[in-house]
Structure 1
């Protein structure tokens, strides 16, 4: 661990890229690494899990080093903070004599009770209960929370009209050509689209993941077809790729139709008398 800390300190001193990073510029990488840990664990590949956990640890070390340079805290302070929190929130382990055997559910309730006690005396806004996380999920959770006290559109039609209003404002921002304004209005459009999905009973996160999977599959088809033609995708024109994209859609639809027909054939009775 000390070697890793020493390497990080040296990188901050001598590497141009590492030297120019800030706590804000690095947060995106921490998020990406957390997702890569999840993907590695899902795959079950132990080497990948080990490597991705190391990448995630690096983000903690990197952030701690930058704050240490500011004189705020260092890596040891981070370790001490989580150590004290674990002890404080697990009295059933570290003060076991005061507790009977607890179920996992009782442990979870105890954890929440202790968290609540820790926050006593601190001002709490309603939306503080919404944890930071993937932006689409966070937006949906915020909207659901606000809806509980009536801060919501009555109908999906109203939410859709709000989306159209935000899209119009984005168009105006694009005409103005101000990057900050464009980003702000683009964010408003995304938030409004999540709200439309919520009113329709659609999970924005699941819907987008489905589209990402679909895009990956169709793009892989383009690459495969390009190889069959003795090309790579970067040698193809946009028109050629568009043609293969449409072919990928047709192939997928044909596959689904065949699958449906197969299912129907398997479940269809073999004669009319059995059907009756």
Structure 2
């Protein structure tokens, strides 16, 4: 598809959204607002990530379209309120990209990826300062997934020197937090247990950061692995005419270990 055709399709999408929100449009679309649409926006972002994880390009094309619709939806509601329109959204991100890439669009010297990452963060810090967000941790979105936010918060703190020196020291901290949780088990106080478990999860998010891994992606991978292996256990039991409720924990564990062995290289 040419650039001209792409712009035509984008214009068509904007027109479709305006029609849906019109007084004689879709009753469901007419009554939506930013708050009611926000969960769909988040959901579509995850569905894009899922399609990428499956390496399903046709699905990715479809999911990216759904995500684009969310941007158009929010922009249309803002335009109706007299705040801004889709063009303002595009201009804002265009200006931001040019501002954050002076080595491409300006006269700064060329950079490698590491230098660009550092310059990007410096520019973002300047932008936060211009918005009077002066704290080191200012601007880290509250609604991010908790593991992602934990990694981002400590990455920010690490830039000013408040960080563990290496992954090994994070593992030592994890041992400490594990011992503290273990000490709370006999008391069974839900608040204390939640506090200590939260500390453990926070440290694990930082361990992922130190290993240059995405903690959310790691957990998604573990979830998928668990689903796959437990499904195989159920299949093995079904072949015997049974289900999980008919088997002992020892039997299911033996089947689980058998599945693991088949997955090893």
Where on the TM-score scale, by shorter chain, does this alignment land: which range? 0.5 to 0.7
Unaligned stretches of 5+ in structure 2?
1-9, 164-172, 209-214
Residue 100 of structure 1: SS of its match in structure 2?
coil
Q: Does 1:168 align with 2:190?
A: yes
* Match among 115, 133, 136 for residue 124 of structure 2: 115
> Aligned-residue CA RMSD in angstroms?
4.3
* Match among 245, 249, 256 for residue 252 of structure 1: 256
Task: Answer whether contact 1:222 1:244 (CA < 8 A) is retained.
Answer: no
Q: How far has the Cα of 1:23 moved from its partner?
A: 1.5
Mapped to 2, the partners of 1:223 and 1:141 lie a distance apart of 39
**Counterpart in 1 of 2:113?**
104
Unaligned stretches of 5+ in structure 1?
171-187, 231-238, 264-276
Mapped to 2, the partners of 1:41 and 1:153 lie a distance apart of 31
Q: How far has the Cα of 1:82 moved from its partner?
A: 0.8
Q: How far has the Cα of 1:254 moved from its partner?
A: 2.4
Mapped to 2, the partners of 1:93 and 1:53 lie a distance apart of 27
C-alpha spacing 1:207/1:160, structure 2 compared with 1 (3 Å): farther
Task: Answer whether contact 2:133 2:139 (CA < 8 A) is retained.
Answer: no
* Match among 134, 145, 165 for residue 124 of structure 1: 134
Q: How far has the Cα of 1:61 moved from its partner?
A: 0.7
Mapped to 1, the partners of 2:33 and 2:218 lie a distance apart of 33
**Counterpart in 1 of 2:54?**
43
**Counterpart in 1 of 2:223?**
212
* Match among 178, 191, 198 for residue 194 of structure 1: 198
Q: Normalising by the residue count of structure 2, what TM-score does the alignment of the two structures yield?
A: 0.65
C-alpha spacing 1:43/1:4, structure 2 compared with 1 (3 Å): same
**Which deviates the most, 59-68 or 31-40?**
31-40
* Match among 79, 84, 89 for residue 78 of structure 1: 89
Mapped to 2, the partners of 1:7 and 1:140 lie a distance apart of 39
Mapped to 2, the partners of 1:254 and 1:101 lie a distance apart of 53
Q: How far has the Cα of 1:105 moved from its partner?
A: 2.7
**Counterpart in 1 of 2:66?**
55
Larger Rg: 1
Greater helix share, 1 or 2?
A: 1
